[in-house]
Amino acid sequence: MSDLNKFYKKKKILVTGNTGFKGAWLSETLISFNANVVGLSKDIPTKPSMYNILNLNKKMKTYFFDIKNLNKIKELIKKEKPDIIFHCAAQSLVLKSLQKPIETFNTNSIGSINLLESIKNYKKNLAIIMVTSDKCYYPTKKGYYRENSLLGGIEPYGASKAMAEIAIKSYYESYIKRNKKINLVTVRAGNVIGGGDWSRNRLLPDLFKNWKKNKIIKIRSPKANRPWQHVLEPVGAYIFIAKKIFKSKIFFKNYNIGPKGTSNLTVINLIHLINRNWKLRKIKFKIFEKKRTVEATNLNLNVAKIKKELGWENKLKINETIKFVCEWYGVYFKKNGDIKKITSDQIKKYFMLW
């Protein structure tokens, strides 16, 4: 039995946002380590959804309510008494944040604080991984961010994540620090790709949805440079950090999570790479470059801190990441393709690299 299996077996884990893209991969992975996983989500955000595809409703209990409801979170925590919490619930889309700023700020900032408020007097050992985003940094021309770079988004999503970071730190300093049982980390991951993402206005879901309809995909920001990483990388990093900090003495840190520099690619180069690995009919695209965009053009994450302090680094090279992505969607679109098997094979393959 691997160390991860030993550690996670029978641990009670709360995954917020378990019906979303990352939350579903994280829950499936934890369940494969025999953890006892419960979830909290507002809804099932997409159709199709990874949560439904993997039949997670049969493998874990999910509480469906809004994270803005403090009393309900308190009740859940009291009832389930988790050992580890992975907080992934969020309004996670930049474009939607422009249409629904108040909802975004309330969910991402106040929602995070509701969770901390409900555990601040917790009596058991507890590790908490608070998922924010690399968009929490104030965008600069250079677009290169370390953990001590200035916080602050220029659009509501990024700003809500910066607010969450500031609020979490203040909550830690003011209350949680006194509770010797709790260890807490905020994680700022870069752009995530992988099978099972069906979110609106995200590059890869748009690409594969349009491919299926034989439509040409419009590329808005071909030169945008991003630290692409497979969803199993942040999932693996969260699992790794939680194990590391569980029972450690009074721990509060924040870490960037992303690939080493070589996995940074522009959108257009990413699409070329996908097309080279895509075994089915080619993906058609056309560039409709917009002059002004609220999203930063360059985003590079310095990931030296997590390597130095915890010994974590991403495992997959960009070619392997794209292979995983194309393999997964290839099976999904194949008649009678076994999607549960490919998901579980990819989880196994990924953790063999540890």
Chain residues binding ligand NAD by CB under 6 A are: 17, 19-23, 41-43, 45, 66-68, 88-92, 107, 111, 131, 133, 189, 191-192, 199
Q: Give 230 or 315: the residue with its C-beta nearer to ligand NAD.
A: 230
Q: Give 83 or 194: the residue with its C-beta nearer to ligand NAD.
A: 194
Q: In the complex, what is the shortest distance from the CB of residue 131 to ligand NAD, in angstroms, rounded to a whole number?
A: 4
Dmax (CA) for the chain in angstroms is 58
Q: In the complex, what is the shortest distance from the CB of residue 270 to ligand NAD, in angstroms, rounded to a whole number?
A: 13
Three-state SS for the chain is CCHHHHHHCCCEEEEECCCCHHHHHHHHHHHHCCCEEEEEECCCCCCCCHHHHCCHHHHCEEEECCCCCHHHHHHHHHHHCCCEEEECCCCCCHHHHHHCHHHHHHHHHHHHHHHHHHHCCCCCCEEEEEECCHHHECCCCCCEECCCCCECCCCHHHHHHHHHHHHHHHHHHHCHHHCCCEEEEEEEECCEECCCCCCCCCHHHHHHHHHHCCCCEEECCCCCEEECEECHHHHHHHHHHHHHHCCCCCEEEEEEECCCHHHEEEHHHHHHHHHHHCCCCCCCEEECCCCCCCCCCECEECCHHHHHHHCCCCCCCHHHHHHHHHHHHHHHHCCCCCHHHHHHHHHHHHHHCC
Q: Give 2 or 55: the residue with its C-beta nearer to ligand NAD.
A: 55
Instruction: Kindly tell me the burial class for residue 72, based on how many C-beta atoms sit within 10 Å of its own C-beta (0-12, 13-18, 19 or more).
Output: middle
Q: Give 57 or 174: the residue with its C-beta nearer to ligand NAD.
A: 57
Q: Give 63 or 250: the residue with its C-beta nearer to ligand NAD.
A: 63
Q: In the complex, what is the shortest distance from the CB of residue 158 to ligand NAD, in angstroms, rounded to a whole number?
A: 10
Q: Give 76 or 273: the residue with its C-beta nearer to ligand NAD.
A: 76
Q: In the complex, what is the shortest distance from the CB of residue 3 to ligand NAD, in angstroms, rounded to a whole number?
A: 25
CB 115 within 8 A of CB 73: yes
Q: In the complex, what is the shortest distance from the CB of residue 88 to ligand NAD, in angstroms, rounded to a whole number?
A: 4
Q: In the complex, what is the shortest distance from the CB of residue 9 to ligand NAD, in angstroms, rounded to a whole number?
A: 25
* Residues contacting residue 232 through CB under 8 Å, at least 6 positions apart: 25, 29, 194, 316, 324, 346, 347, 350
Q: Give 45 or 156: the residue with its C-beta nearer to ligand NAD.
A: 45
Q: Give 19 or 264: the residue with its C-beta nearer to ligand NAD.
A: 19
Q: In the complex, what is the shortest distance from the CB of residue 236 to ligand NAD, in angstroms, rounded to a whole number?
A: 14
Q: Give 205 or 339: the residue with its C-beta nearer to ligand NAD.
A: 205
Taking CB positions, which residue lies at the least distance from ligand NAD? 20
Q: In the complex, what is the shortest distance from the CB of residue 89 to ligand NAD, in angstroms, rounded to a whole number?
A: 4
Q: In the complex, what is the shortest distance from the CB of residue 281 to ligand NAD, in angstroms, rounded to a whole number?
A: 26
